[in-house]
Amino acid sequence: MKENMTLANGTTIPTPGFGTYKICGEGARDIFRTALAVGYRHLDTASFYENEADIAAAIKDSGIYRSDLFLTSKVWKDEMGYYSTKDAIDRSLNRLATDYLDLYLVHWPRRDLELATWQEHLVYTWYAMEEKMRDGAIRAIGVSNFLPHHIDVLYEHGNFEPTVNQIEYHPGYIQEETVQYCKAKNILVEAWAPLGRAKVFDQPAIAAAAAKHGVSPAQICLRFAYQNGILPLPKASSKERMAENTDFFSFTLDADEMAAIAGMPRAGWTGLHPDRPRETVTD
């Protein structure tokens, strides 16, 4: 990739990353091999994705040194808790055929939406991650899908501060309050679904910027995130789309374009929220 970002603990992280959610089963290894051949060196996975072993196989086939890669995984809701998180980390390390992870995240803040003691489960999950980081099995720790009040729990009880918050972020759903909170805390925001499920491509602000710069709507979405200091994690299955999704460094959106995109109506939201059941959305 052409750029790196730097976490609060000094760890460098290649930009963009390659999102791997729902890439599993037949054909997954070929997709990961292609992504590595295109030039991706940052792969974002999770135990929930059930593709860690396929990623390991693709890395082995690529011949790329482990030290040249950035691997992220996550602890799933039903793995939360002190001992179960430590076991989950060991399983991810085994499936990924590596002795360390560059970044490990709490996938969602609440083990169960109905669980009154969710904070306790979160804190003990965090303690397990801190211990694994001290032991050298993890280089950096962070969170995913957290709002400010979830992160506050870790600041109150944790020994290490989160370095990353991976959230749904794209034109039409920019979660400004959470982004500004993270920036104030020196937490890098990563964007999953940075293309808004392609639901935003026909929005006037996106279409106009794409036409002006002679690039695709997807590249506009990725550049918008990048200019806001956010690391995008696009995913794709074709070599052409993978390459296109790395090529957003050669142009710059001006202030008016950034404002127009930021002011778009809600579009492309998945309906997922960390404190509520999933909503059905049509935009």
For residue 169, indicate whether it is catalytic: no
| Dist. CA 176–CA 7, nearest whole Å | 20
Q: Residue 136 and residue 100: Cα distance in Å, rounded? A: 7
CB 227 within 8 Å of CB 221: no
Helix axes 204-213 and 255-262, enclosed angle (nearest 10): 150
Q: Which two tokens stand for residue 31?
A: 């997709």
Is 12 exposed, middle or buried, given 0-12, 13-18 or 19+ CB atoms closer than 10 A?
exposed
Q: How far apart are CA 164 and CA 152, in angstroms?
A: 14
Please list the alpha-helical segments (H only) found in the chain: 28-38, 52-62, 82-95, 118-134, 148-157, 176-184, 204-213, 217-227, 239-244, 255-262
**Marked catalytic residue, from 49, 104, 127, 173:** 49
Enumerate the active-site residues: 49
